[in-house]
Amino acid sequence: MEKKIVIITGASGGFGKEFTKRFIEAGYHVVATVRNEAKKPVVLEGLSPEEAEHVSIALLDVADKESVTGFGRYLLALERVDVLINNAGFAVAGFAEELTDEEYLYQFETNFFGVMRVTNLVLPIMRNQKEGRIINISSISGLIGFPGLSPYASSKYALEGYSESLRLELRESGIDVTLVEPGSFQTNIWSTGTYMSEKAGKDDSPYHELFTNMNKRLQKDQETYGDPKEVADLVVKIAVRKKSPTLRYTVGNGVKLSLLAKKLLPWKAWERIVLNQLRKKE
C-alpha cells in the first residue's frame, strides 16, 4: 500500500521540523513546506538519508496568494492528502494602543488567512477521498488573551472560531478538524518568530514599565518552556492513533490549570492574577 501523506506548513523550524521527523517515523510521506529555497536544507538537517527519502519539500508562503496558488499546482501531482497540519505562524507583539491596522493585518495574513487558504486548497482532495484530518496549531493565546500580544491572540482566537465552524460544516464528510493548544515551548517563535512593534518599550510609552518587566520574565522563564517533542507526540497521536479526534487538545505546563482557572474564577480575580504575575519584578 502507498504511504499516507501529510502536509506540514512552516516546516523549517520549531514544531514543524519536529512534526516532520515524527511523521516519517510513523510511516508517512511528508510534504514539508518552507517559505524560500534557502530554508530547504534546514528540513533535512538531523534526518538520515533513508528518512530524507520520505520527505518532499515544497515552497509555500501562506501569507502570499501567488505562493499559495503555486502550491495548489504542486498539489495536483499528489495522489491524496491524509493529514494537513496548519502549523506556519509567528507572533506580532506590542500594545494594542500603539499598533497599526497594518500590523494586525500582517499577523492575520499568516496566522488566520494563511490557514484558510491552504485548507481550501486541500479540502477538495480530502472530500474526493471522503476522509482526512486537518490539525490547526492554535495556542493557549487562542483561549486566553495576554497583554502585549493582542495581534497574536486575536489571530489565534479567529482561528478557534474558524476551526469550530469548519468542523461542524465537515461533520458528515469524513474530514476531522482539530485544534492543538500549546502553552510555551522552546522554538524560534520567541526570537526570529516574533515581530515587535516599534513603539513597544520606548521610554515615553505608558507601557514602558510593564514591557520591561514582561521581557525580564520572558528571559527568565524561557528555560522552563517545554520540549517541542511533546507537541509532536500529541499531533502524531491525533493524526495516527485517535479513532475519532475531538475538537481541542491542550499541551504544555500549566495550560490545563490556567484554562480551568479562567473558566472558574470571576473575571476580576483572574485578571488580578495575570497582571500580578506580569508586573512582578524579578
Ligand X SMILES: NC(=O)c1ccc[n+]([C@@H]2O[C@H](COP(=O)([O-])OP(=O)(O)OC[C@H]3O[C@@H](n4cnc5c(N)ncnc54)[C@H](OP(=O)(O)O)[C@@H]3O)[C@@H](O)[C@H]2O)c1
Kindly state whether residue 16 participates in binding ligand X, applying the rule CB under 6 A. yes
- In eight-state DSSP terms, residue 177 is E
**Binders in 49-68 for ligand X, by CB under 6 A:** 60-63
The CB-of-60 to ligand X minimum distance in angstroms stands at 6
Kindly state whether residue 145 participates in binding ligand X, applying the rule CB under 6 A. no
For residue 33 the three cell numbers come to 513546506
For ligand X, the closer of residues 15 and 23 by Cβ is 15
Question: Could you give the CA distance from residue 88 to residue 187 in angstroms, rounded to a whole number?
Answer: 12
Note whether 216 and 282 are within 8 A (CB).
yes
Kindly state whether residue 70 participates in binding ligand X, applying the rule CB under 6 A. no
Options 12-20, 50-58, 166-174, 206-214: segment touching ligand X (CB under 6 A): 12-20
Q: Which of 6, 7, 15, 197 binds ligand X (CB under 6 A)?
A: 15
Note whether 215 and 207 are within 8 A (CB).
no
Q: Which of 139, 150, 178, 197 binds ligand X (CB under 6 A)?
A: 139
- Tell me how far CA of residue 150 lies from CA of 95, 103, 112, 269, in angstroms: 7, 11, 14, 21
The CB-of-128 to ligand X minimum distance in angstroms stands at 25
Question: Could you give the CA distance from residue 35 to residue 195 in angstroms, rounded to a whole number?
Answer: 17
Alpha helices in 61-179 (DSSP H): 65-75, 101-108, 115-129, 150-169
Catalytic residue among 28, 104, 106, 152: 152
Q: Which of 90, 157, 211, 249 binds ligand X (CB under 6 A)?
A: 90
Active site residue 152: yes
Q: Which of 8, 83, 88, 99 binds ligand X (CB under 6 A)?
A: 88
Options 98-106, 116-124, 178-186, 216-224: segment touching ligand X (CB under 6 A): 178-186
Kindly state whether residue 136 participates in binding ligand X, applying the rule CB under 6 A. no
Pick left, alpha or beta for residue 85 (phi over 0 → left; psi -120 to 50 → alpha; otherwise beta): beta
Note whether 130 and 171 are within 8 A (CB).
no
Kindly state whether residue 187 participates in binding ligand X, applying the rule CB under 6 A. yes
**Binders in 201-240 for ligand X, by CB under 6 A:** none
**Binders in 252-281 for ligand X, by CB under 6 A:** none
Least Cα distance to 170 among 122, 216, 231, 208 occurs for 122
Options 5-13, 24-32, 209-217, 253-261: segment touching ligand X (CB under 6 A): 5-13
Question: Could you give the CA distance from residue 174 to residue 212 in angstroms, rounded to a whole number?
Answer: 49
Kindly state whether residue 193 participates in binding ligand X, applying the rule CB under 6 A. yes
Compute φ and ψ for 265, nearest 5 degrees. -80, 150
Q: Which residues are catalytic?
A: 152
State the residues that interact with ligand X by CB under 6 A. Answer: 9-10, 12-16, 35, 39, 60-63, 87-90, 110, 114, 137, 139, 182, 184-185, 187-189, 193
